[in-house]
């Protein structure tokens, strides 16, 4: 399990570096630029990642305290495997189909602050620490419910895989926004 945690932490670091290298030179206006009303700005992509990842923190805290009550559906291994695989596949960077996020995970509709990349880097460090601290739960094969829907359950291990893939997907999408911005006169 140590190897898996280390791999996830490496991916978090690379994603953080990817966002920093690609966007740190941008102004607040550029971070908030949108090609159209239906597309998120670069800043919104970053804020969305912070928001969604933080919704896992209370679950991790309850696991640590021993107060987490697993979801009923989590008792059925085939269901947790199927649901976890489905979610993971939907957030892979190479998955072309876009999915609409649920309201609790939507980024702020107003201006994203210019220091969003600094906030993201700090968030990533906390997330990496929480992954490491979750080792006992990972080794026990803990099953959790999605923070968004108690009827969707997957292993904690799959949750971390989903988080890592989801971040890479949004880095790719943010770079696509940057490309559109560079083409706009």
In angstroms and rounded to an integer, the radius of gyration of the C-alpha atoms of the chain is 17
For residues 64 and 138, what is the distance between their CA atoms, to the nearest angstrom? 12
- Contact predicate 43/32, CB 8 Å: yes
Residue 31 — pLDDT band, cuts 50, 70, 90? very high
Structure tokens at 77: 């291994």
Looking at residue 158, what is its pLDDT?
Answer: 98
The answer, yes or no, to whether residue 120 has pLDDT greater than 90, is yes
How does residue 161 score in pLDDT terms, banded at 50, 70 and 90? very high
DSSP SS3 for 119:
helix
Checking if the pLDDT of 185 tops 80, the result is no
Alpha carbon distance 167, 125 (integer Å): 14
Give pLDDT, residue 100: 83
Contacts of 156 (CB under 8 A, 6+ apart): 63, 134, 137, 138, 142, 143, 144
Lowest mean pLDDT among 18-22, 107-111, 178-182: 107-111
Residue 10 has pLDDT above 80, yes or no: yes
**Looking at 46-50, 57-61, 100-104, 163-167, which range is the least confident one?**
100-104
CATH number of 2-183: 1.20.120.450
pLDDT of 179 = 94
Count CB atoms within 10 A of the CB of residue 97.
5
pLDDT given for residue 98 in this prediction: 81
User: Model confidence over 71-119: pLDDT tens digits?
Assistant: 999 999 999 999 999 999 999 999 878 888 888 898 887 799 999 999 9
> Per-residue pLDDT averaged across 63-73, rounded?
94
**Is residue 19 within 8 Å of residue 171, measured between CB atoms?**
yes
Residues composing the chain = 185
What number is the average pLDDT over the span 115-136?
98
Determine the Cα–Cα distance for residues 49 and 66; give it in Å rounded to an integer.
27
Identify the H or E element spanning 155. strand 149-155
């Amino acid at each position: 399990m140590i190897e898996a945690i280390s791999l996830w932490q490496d991916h978090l670091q690379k994603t953080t570096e990817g966002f920093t290298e690609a966007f740190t030179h941008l102004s607040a206006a550029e971070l908030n630029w949108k090609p159209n009303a239906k597309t998120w700005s670069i800043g919104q992509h970053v804020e969305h990642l912070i928001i969604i990842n933080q919704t896992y923190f209370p679950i991790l805290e309850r696991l640590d305290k021993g107060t987490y009550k697993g979801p009923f559906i989590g008792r059925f291994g085939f269901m947790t495997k199927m649901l976890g695989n489905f979610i993971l596949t939907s957030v892979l960077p190479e998955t072309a189909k876009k999915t609409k996020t649920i309201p609790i995970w939507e980024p702020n509709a107003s201006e994203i602050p210019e220091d969003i990349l600094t906030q993201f880097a700090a968030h990533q460090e906390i997330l990496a620490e929480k992954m490491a601290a979750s080792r006992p739960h990972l080794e026990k094969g803990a099953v959790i419910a999605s923070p968004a829907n108690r009827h969707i359950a997957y292993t904690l291990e799959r949750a971390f895989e989903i988080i890592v893939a989801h971040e890479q997907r949004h880095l790719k999408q943010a770079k696509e926004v940057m490309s559109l911005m560079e083409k706009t006169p």
